[in-house]
C-alpha cells in the first residue's frame, strides 16, 4: 500500500529523546514529510536536521516526576501526540489516554492491553486464553517452591524480568543450567531509580520469571511486526527473524533479516489481532519442533523498525496518519524484498569474537546462510539524517566493555539448528 499522502502535515509530534533506533527512525520518517517534531530531553535526536523544537523535561525513567509533567503538558495543549518509542512511553500514554484529543486517543491502546503486553505473566495468561502456546514457565516468590517447580520443568531455564517496567531495559536475563545456579541467582531485582510507584502498582515485577529454554532462541526468533488501526484493522505487516543478538541468547537483535513464510505470518497476525486493538506492534515467536511459541509482544516501536520502513511499511508515518483519522487495510500482502538490518557495532564485535572462538553453534548451514547476499541497512539512524546516526554509534562506544563482556561469558551447549523455509 502507499504510505504517502498529498496533504502537508501540520499537527506536531512529541518525541522523548534518547540514543535508540526507534527514536531516530521516527525522526527520519516524520521529518521527511515535514511533520513538526518537538524533541524533549537529551539524546542523539536533538541533532536531527528535522527537529523543529527542543525543550527540557524530567527524566522519562523518573515516573514520579515525569508523569505529572506530561499530564500537565497534554492538558495545556503543548503536547498533542506522543511517539510510542519505549515501554515506558507506551505505559505513560495509556495511563493518560483520556487526556488526549479523541482522534489521537483512538490510536492509544487501553491500559489493560499495555499491561497484557508489558507484563510477561499477564501476556502468558492472555495467550493461554486464546490458544496461543507459550514456553512453560515458573513465577513465584518462595524459593523452595520455585526450586521444586524448576526441577519439574527441567534445565536449562531462562531467568529474566517479568517486565522492564520498574526494572529498566538493562537487565536482559540469563540462562540457568542447573539447580545450584538457580539457587544462587533467584532473588528480587532492584527497582530502577524513580520507578518505585510502578513497582508498587505491580509488586510482582520485582521477582524473576523462569522459562523453559528453547534452543532456537539463540539464532532464530521470528518477529511479526506492523501496525493496526482501530477501524481498519492490521494495515501493514511483515515477517523477519533475529539472526544475531546482543547479549547472546537473551538480547536485542543486532541482525534482523526478512523472510517468507506465509503460515508463520498468518499465525502471528491471528495472535496479534486478538491481543491488541491498535498501534504499532512486534510479536516474537519461537519455533519449537514445529510449534510456534509466543515469547513477547511489544506494543510500540521496536529496535529494527528501520527494516519495516525499508521494505515499504513506514510504520511511524502510518501511525501519524492514524492519529488524524482511520486508515484502511492494504489490497494485499506483498512478500518483502531481500534485506537485513544490523546494529553495526555489537554485530561486528560479536562476529569477530565468534570467529576467534570458533563458536560451535555456527555450523555449516549457518555459515552458508550468512553468506547469502542481502541488501543491508543500519538499524541505528538513517543516512539522510547523518548526525544523529553518528552520535548514536558514538554513544555505544562510550562503554566498549559493555559491548564485549556479554560475548566472553562461558558458552552454553550448542543449540540444535533447523533450516528456515525460504528464509533470506
Q: Do 327 and 399 lie in a common domain?
A: yes
Where among 161, 182, 212 does a domain terminate? 212
Question: Rounded to whole angstroms, how far apart are CA atoms 53 and 48?
Answer: 11
The pLDDT score that the predictor gives to residue 76 is: 97
Question: Rounded to whole angstroms, how far apart are CA atoms 98 and 111?
Answer: 11
Provide the percentage of residues in the chain whose pLDDT is more than 90.
72
Question: H or E element: which one contains 279?
Answer: strand 279-288
Give the full edge-to-edge strand order of the sheet including 157-161.
137-138, 208-212, 157-161, 174-176
pTM of the predicted model as reported, rounded to 2 decimal places: 0.88
**Is 360 inside a domain boundary?**
yes
**Is 423 inside a domain boundary?**
no
> What DSSP designation does 233 have?
E
**Is 190 inside a domain boundary?**
yes
The pLDDT score that the predictor gives to residue 193 is: 92
Q: Do 88 and 46 lie in a common domain?
A: yes
What phi and psi values does residue 336 have, to the nearest 5 degrees? -70, 155
**3-56 pLDDT per residue, tens:** 444 455 679 999 999 999 999 999 999 999 999 999 999 999 999 999 999 999
- For the ranges 147-161, 249-263, 309-323, the lowest mean pLDDT is seen at 249-263
**Is 297 inside a domain boundary?**
yes
Q: Do 309 and 337 lie in a common domain?
A: yes
Question: Rounded to whole angstroms, how far apart are CA atoms 226 and 345?
Answer: 26
The pLDDT score that the predictor gives to residue 404 is: 62
**Average pLDDT estimate for 157-165:** 95
Pick the more confident residue, 373 or 315: 315
**Is 397 inside a domain boundary?**
yes
Grade residue 170 by pLDDT with cuts at 50, 70 and 90: confident
**Average pLDDT estimate for 75-90:** 97
**Average pLDDT estimate for 194-215:** 94
Q: Do 272 and 315 lie in a common domain?
A: yes
Q: Do 64 and 182 lie in a common domain?
A: no
Grade residue 1 by pLDDT with cuts at 50, 70 and 90: very low
Q: Do 340 and 276 lie in a common domain?
A: yes
Q: Do 260 and 380 lie in a common domain?
A: yes
Question: Rounded to whole angstroms, how far apart are CA atoms 202 and 163?
Answer: 10
Question: Could you tell me if 350 and 407 are in contact, meaning their C-beta atoms sit under 8 angstroms apart?
Answer: yes
Question: Could you tell me if 15 and 40 are in contact, meaning their C-beta atoms sit under 8 angstroms apart?
Answer: yes
Please, what is the end-to-end C-alpha distance for the chain in angstroms? 23
**Average pLDDT estimate for 217-234:** 93
Q: Do 151 and 251 lie in a common domain?
A: no
**Is 3 inside a domain boundary?**
no
Count the neighbouring beta carbons within 10 Å of the beta carbon of residue 21.
Answer: 25
3-state secondary structure the chain: CCCCCCCCCCCCEEEECCCCHHHHHHHHHHHHCCCCEEEECCCHHHHCCCEEEEECCCCCCCHHHHHHHHHHHHHHCCCCCECCCCHHHHHHHHHCHHHCCHHHHCCCCCHHHHHHHHCHHHHHHHHHHHCCCCCCEECCCCHHHHHHHHHHHCCCEEEEECCCCCCCCCCCCEEECCHHHHHHHCCCCCCCCCCHHHHHHCHHHHCEEEEECCHHHCCCEEEEEEEEECCCEEEEEEEEEEEEEECCCCCEEEEEEEECCHHHHHHHHHHHHHHCCCEEEEEEEEEECCEEEEEEEECCCCCCHHHHHHCCCCHHHHHHHHCCCCCCCCCCCCCCCCEEEECHHHHHHHHHHHHHHCCCCCCHHHHHHHCCCCEEEECCCECCEHHHHHHHHHHHHCCHHHHHHHHHCCCCCCCCCCCCCCEC
Tell me the CATH number at 196.
Answer: 3.30.1490
Grade residue 423 by pLDDT with cuts at 50, 70 and 90: very low
Q: Do 287 and 362 lie in a common domain?
A: yes
**Quick check: helix, strand or coil at residue 227?**
strand
Structurally, the chain folds into a number of domains equal to 3
Tell me the CATH number at 360.
Answer: 3.30.470.20
**254-303 pLDDT per residue, tens:** 899 999 899 999 999 999 999 999 999 999 999 998 899 999 999 999 99
**Is 121 inside a domain boundary?**
no
pLDDT at 206 over 50: yes
Where among 212, 230, 259 does a domain terminate? 212
Grade residue 411 by pLDDT with cuts at 50, 70 and 90: very low
Where among 87, 116, 145 does a domain terminate? 116
Parent domain of 200: 136-212
Count the neighbouring beta carbons within 10 Å of the beta carbon of residue 51.
Answer: 19
Q: What are the grid coordinates assigned to 54, written together?
A: 527542543
Pick the more confident residue, 251 or 11: 11
Q: Look at residues 67, 278, 81, 74 and name the one whose alpha carbon lies nearest to residue 165.
A: 67
**Is 35 inside a domain boundary?**
yes
Pick the more confident residue, 250 or 211: 211
**Average pLDDT estimate for 329-340:** 75
- For the ranges 15-19, 44-48, 352-356, 416-420, the lowest mean pLDDT is seen at 416-420
Provide the percentage of residues in the chain whose pLDDT is more than 70.
84
Q: Do 183 and 263 lie in a common domain?
A: no
Q: Do 387 and 250 lie in a common domain?
A: yes
Average pLDDT, the chain: 87
Grade residue 406 by pLDDT with cuts at 50, 70 and 90: low
Residue whose C-alpha cell reads 508498587 in the numeric block: 200
Of these ranges, 132-141, 392-401, 410-419, the one predicted with the greatest mean pLDDT is 132-141
The pLDDT score that the predictor gives to residue 171 is: 80
Question: Could you tell me if 19 and 345 are in contact, meaning their C-beta atoms sit under 8 angstroms apart?
Answer: no
What phi and psi values does residue 225 have, to the nearest 5 degrees? -125, 150
Q: Do 171 and 194 lie in a common domain?
A: yes
**135-156 pLDDT per residue, tens:** 999 999 999 999 999 999 999 9
Tell me the CATH number at 60.
Answer: 3.40.50
The pLDDT score that the predictor gives to residue 116 is: 97
Amino acid at each position: 500500500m502507499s504510505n504517502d499522502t498529498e496533504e502537508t502535515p501540520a499537527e506536531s509530534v512529541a518525541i522523548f529523546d534518547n540514543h535508540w533506533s526507534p527514536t531516530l527512525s521516527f525522526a527520519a520518517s516524520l521529518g521527511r514529510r515535514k511533520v513538526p517534531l518537538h524533541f524533549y530531553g537529551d539524546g542523539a535526536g536533538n541533532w536531527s536536521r528535522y527537529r523543529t523544537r527542543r525543550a527540557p523535561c524530567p527524566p522519562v525513567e523518573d515516573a514520579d516526576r515525569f508523569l505529572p509533567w506530561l499530564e500537565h503538558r497534554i492538558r495545556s495543549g503543548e503536547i498533542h501526540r506522543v511517539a510510542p518509542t519505549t515501554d515506558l512511553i507506551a505505559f505513560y500514554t495509556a495511563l493518560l489516554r483520556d487526556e488526549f484529543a479523541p482522534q489521537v486517543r483512538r490510536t492509544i491502546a487501553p491500559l489493560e492491553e499495555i499491561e497484557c503486553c508489558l507484563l510477561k505473566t499477564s501476556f502468558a495468561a492472555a495467550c493461554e486464553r486464546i490458544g496461543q502456546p507459550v514456553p512453560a514457565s515458573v513465577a513465584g516468590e518462595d524459593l523452595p517452591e520455585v526450586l521444586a517447580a524448576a526441577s519439574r520443568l527441567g534445565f536449562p531455564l531462562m531467568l529474566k524480568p517479568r517486565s522492564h517496567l520498574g526494572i529498566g531495559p538493562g537487565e536482559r536475563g540469563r540462562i540457568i543450567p542447573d539447580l545450584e545456579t538457580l539457587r544462587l541467582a533467584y532473588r528480587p531485582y532492584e527497582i530502577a531509580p524513580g520507578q518505585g510507584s510502578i513497582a508498587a502498582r505491580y509488586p510482582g515485577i520485582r521477582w524473576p520469571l523462569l522459562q523453559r529454554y528453547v534452543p532456537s532462541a539463540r539464532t532464530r526468533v521470528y518477529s511479526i511486526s506492523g501496525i493496526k488501526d482501530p477501524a481498519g484493522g492490521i494495515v501493514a505487516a511483515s515477517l523477519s527473524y533475529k539472526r544475531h543478538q546482543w547479549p547472546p541468547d537473551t538480547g536485542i537483535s543486532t541482525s534482523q533479516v526478512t523472510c517468507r513464510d506465509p503460515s508463520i505470518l498468518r499465525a502471528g497476525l491471528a495472535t496479534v489481532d486478538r491481543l491488541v486493538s491498535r498501534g504499532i506492534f512486534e510479536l516474537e515467536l519461537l519455533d519449537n519442533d514445529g510449534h510456534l511459541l509466543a515469547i513477547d509482544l511489544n506494543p510500540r516501536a521496536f529496535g529494527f523498525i528501520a527494516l519495516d520502513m525499508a521494505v515499504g511499511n513506514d510504520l511511524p508515518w502510518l501511525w501519524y496518519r492514524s492519529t488524524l483519522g482511520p486508515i484502511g487495510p492494504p489490497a494485499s500482502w506483498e512478500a518483502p524484498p531481500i534485506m537485513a538490518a544490523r546494529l553495526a557495532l555489537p554485530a561486528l564485535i560479536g562476529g569477530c569474537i565468534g570467529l576467534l572462538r570458533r563458536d560451535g553453534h555456527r555450523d555449516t548451514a549457518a555459515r552458508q546462510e550468512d553468506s547469502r547476499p542481502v541488501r543491508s541497512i543500519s538499524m541505528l539512524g538513517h543516512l539522510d539524517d547523518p548526525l544523529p546516526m553518528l552520535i548514536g554509534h558514538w554513544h555505544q562506544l562510550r562503554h566498549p566493555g559493555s559491548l564485549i563482556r556479554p560475548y566472553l561469558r562461558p558458552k552454553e551447549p550448542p543449540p540444535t539448528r533447523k533450516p528456515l523455509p525460504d528464509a533470506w
